[in-house]
Amino acid sequence: MDFQQVFGKPPETQAKAPGRVNLLGEHTDYYDCFVLPTAIPQCTTVQLGFSSDGQHHFYSENLNEQVNILDINHTPSGFASYIFGCIEVLQKAGYIIPSLCVYVKSSVPMGSGLSSSAALEVATLRALRQLLNLPIDDVEIAQFAQQAEIQYAGVQCGIMDQMASSLADTEHILFLDTRTLERRVMPLPNNAEILVIDSGVPRTLASSGYNQRRAECEEAARSLGVKALRDITDVNVTKALTQPLQRRAHHVVTENNRVLEVLQGVTSERFGELMNASHASLRDDYEVSVPALDKLVEILQKTEGVFGARLTGAGFGGASVALVRSRQSKGIATHVLEQYNQAGYNGRILVPSLGLSDAA
């Protein structure tokens, strides 16, 4: 069904936002650190119209689910919580938001670590900006989106996903300082392109160890007397901590240093080595990988034409990202998936998207 069929009239406006994949700087954005995301081709589209009955009505094409907001004092669950959160944070900021009909369709894979939630939030806020002529810029959209996810979806996320969805493109890497929001657009490494493969193991942020890891690192920062682990550059300082805080802090500090090394300029080969080191750190220090992801990354790292590979996103399932030689990603993906699926898993290629429309 389309907007007309669901709500009985055409939409007033629509907006899109992409998912993202993070190349380096994983699980560090909520410690004020540096990150290197890029946008992916898959997008979320949000269509808006005015509601005539004084209530909000949200419909997801992917889920074939409609949610009617009868009580604005009660946050809905599922996909509706993100849309409702975007509306509420704008109202708290002083903007008047009328009752709306909202139609969502998306080609961003859910549960794969490619930020389908941020794409939904940013697309919703872009559509609201267009519909109501709101004076908010792209950085403010990212900030509102982050607050919507924290306050209404219950995920204590950093700003990276929303900034990437709001500001990044598929041709460049976005270097972002999550403390100051200073950013720089950088080219992909020479003779390289991005390959993303889904492990076939879904994960949900709120029910995973995400919030626990964040609490552990905040405790580590307090123990070390700093505002955030971003303020530590010498990894030896973390040795003063007890376990598991030492391992968590070790990951954050070394990951931050890996991003800063890329900022100085590295070859594709060195970028890949840093990605490999990042995965080992996420697996051993931050403990957010799972056997399926480790197997997928191992196969990628051993495949000719792959500079480096790692899990991407929150972990506990989801996708891997690899930096591979230009124009070789589809052949590499076919080879890797054959080995991975023979090991009993069910992976699939996500980027480059095969015959998938950005507006799907």
**Of 29, 32, 161, 198, which one is the catalytic site residue?**
161
Cα separation of 152 and 77, whole Å?
9
Cα separation of 323 and 309, whole Å?
6
Cα separation of 188 and 186, whole Å?
7
Q: Which two tokens stand for residue 330?
A: 């589809």
Q: Which residue from 287, 186, 182 is spatially nearest to 230, judged by alpha carbons? A: 182
Which helix (H) or strand (E) is 331 found in, with range?
helix 329-342
Q: Which residue from 50, 38, 36, 42 is spatially nearest to 16, judged by alpha carbons? A: 42
Which helix (H) or strand (E) is 102 found in, with range?
strand 100-106
Q: Which two tokens stand for residue 139?
A: 């950085």
Burial zone of 77 (CB within 10 Å; 0-12 exposed, 13-18 middle, 19+ buried):
exposed
Q: Which two tokens stand for residue 146?
A: 């982050």
91-119: b (≥16 Cβ within 10 Å) or e: eeeebeeeebbbbbbbbbbebbbbbbbbb
In DSSP terms, 322 is beta-bridged to 195, 309
Question: Cis ω on the peptide bond leading into residue 202 (within 30° of 0)?
Answer: no
Is residue 161 flagged as an active site residue?
yes
* Half-sphere exposure of residue 295: CA atoms within 13 angstroms, side-chain side: 19
Cα separation of 208 and 295, whole Å?
20
Contacts of 149 (CB under 8 A, 6+ apart): 82, 85, 117, 118, 121, 155, 157, 162
**Catalytic positions, please?**
161
